[in-house]
Amino acid sequence: MSSTAPYELIYWPGIPGRGEFIRLALEEAGAEYTDTAHQEGGVQQVLSLIDRKFQGDPSGPPPFAPPVLKHGDLRISQTPNILLYLGPRLGLTPSGDGAYQVNSLALTALDGLSNEPHDTHHPIAVELYYEDQVEESKRRAESYRTNRLPKFLSYFERVLAPQVAQGRPWLYGDTLTYADLVFYQCIDGLKFAFPRAVSRLERTGQYPNVFKLYETVKDRPRIKAYLESDRRQKYSQGIYRHYPELDDAE
């Protein structure tokens, strides 16, 4: 495997989606990469990899879904798996067993702050439109805003408290890891999807370190430059969607 090859991100154009977790890692590290979201024929590359006839090749088994990362002769999929691969290469994973703690924190953020928000607008079936499951979405979103989201924010506040007490704003260890980037993107997506609920939770003052970490990551020079660039795509019909009826009542 050629470790000096540029990284190739293969993901749908038009939404940040799950590809964004990979982009933020590559951007923070200043890595050289290509992105099918900005390439002509990019969609075709995604489609050919998830085609029902593609059985994989020497680069790897077929991916179930994007994001997919190609690096030299290797092709891998699954968001947390790609981050696991990139982390040590991009200086975003601590050495030793801390790598498992970072992986665990990223998995928990992806579960509770990305997959669960997705299910608030698709609680019944991913193959149906939102419009076909609005009433169920309202029930699920209420549960999410009232129970699950505060539970996950409390959890991360608990993870951060002893860190901050030692002068570290990060979820783990003494430098930024990819878990911090995942966490940032989740909170950013939640602010888009549920602006009233997130604002209410922030105003309780119960999660000061959670919202501080969000700002700290947002202000990283390379992240800031990325967010201001046209490489950063707008939220729309992806994981994080803004339907006012799913947010707190005004």
Using CB under 8 A as the criterion, which residues of the chain lie in contact with a second copy when the complex forms? 1, 52, 54-56, 60-64, 74, 76-78, 80-81, 84-85, 97, 100-101, 103-105, 107-108, 112, 115, 119, 123-128, 136, 139-140, 143, 147-148, 152, 154-155, 158-159, 161-162, 171-172
Least Cα distance to 216 among 166, 155, 164, 159 occurs for 164
For residue 78, the minimal CB distance to a second copy (Å) is 4
Euclidean distance between CA atoms 173 and 187, whole angstroms:
21
Distance between CA atoms of residues 87 and 98, nearest Å: 12
Instruction: Give the residues across from 223 on adjacent strands.
Output: none
- DSSP readout, 70-88? EETTEEEESHHHHHHHHHH
Q: Write down the least CB distance from residue 119 to a second copy, Å.
A: 7
Q: Which is nearer to a second copy, 172 or 207 (CB)?
A: 172
Name the residue nearer to a second copy (CB basis): 178 or 233.
178
Nearer to a second copy by Cβ, of 172 and 192: the residue is 172
Q: Using the CB atoms, write b or e for 17-31: b if 16+ within 10 Å.
A: bbbbbbbbbbbbbee
**Nearest-approach distance from CB 176 to a second copy, in angstroms:** 16
Q: How far is the CB of 63 from a second copy (least distance, A)?
A: 8
* 8 membership: H or E segment, kind and range: strand 7-10
Q: Which is nearer to a second copy, 15 or 171 (CB)?
A: 171
- Sorted by sequence, the CB contacts under 8 Å of residue 96 that are 6+ apart come out as none
Residue 170 contacts residue 163 (beta carbons within 8 Å): yes
Q: Give the torsion through C-alpha atoms of 161, 19, 129, 116, to 10 deg.
A: -20
Q: Smallest distance from the beta carbon of 14 to a second copy, in angstroms?
A: 23
Nearer to a second copy, 19 or 112 (CB): 112
Between 74 and 227, name the residue whose CB sits nearer to a second copy.
Answer: 74
H or E element in which residue 190 lies: helix 178-193
CB of 244 to a second copy, least distance (A): 20
